[in-house]
Amino acid sequence: MSKKSSDSKIIYVGRKPPMDYVLAIVTAFSGAEIKEATVKARGRSITTAVDAVEITRRKFVKEMIVDTVVIGTEEMPPREGESNSRNISTIEITLKRS
């Protein structure tokens, strides 16, 4: 579930257990040229994203720091049978190697 950009990695968090994303973060920082990674999540996956970042920071990559945290809201189209659109919370956590 990770997608590579030019000099940083983006890790999208979904429904898997937090340790799957911990592995993705550790793998992202294992490359010498990667100095930054961004963990993105929305809705109920936000707690999983925060858990994965904290587990990684405290137990696996101790030199990693949380650079920025951006929170927001996305408007989602209505589901089938609904008339109104929904607002979904989002988070982007940017991590850097210190």
Find the Cα–Cα–Cα–Cα dihedral 72, 26, 61, 64, rounded to 10°: -40
Domain that holds residue 7: 2-97
For residue 74, CA distances in Å to 26, 62, 94 come to: 28, 32, 19
| pLDDT for residue 3 | 43
pTM as predicted: 0.85
Quick: pLDDT tens for 37-80: 999 999 999 999 999 999 999 999 999 999 999 999 999 998 88
Higher pLDDT: 38 or 98? It is: 38
| pLDDT for residue 7 | 58
β-pairing, 36-42 with 64-76? Answer: unpaired
Count of domains observed in the chain = 1
Q: For residues 29 and 8, give the distance between their C-alpha atoms in angstroms, rounded to a whole number.
A: 9
| pLDDT for residue 81 | 85
| pLDDT for residue 1 | 43
- CATH number of the domain where residue 90 is located: 3.30.110.20
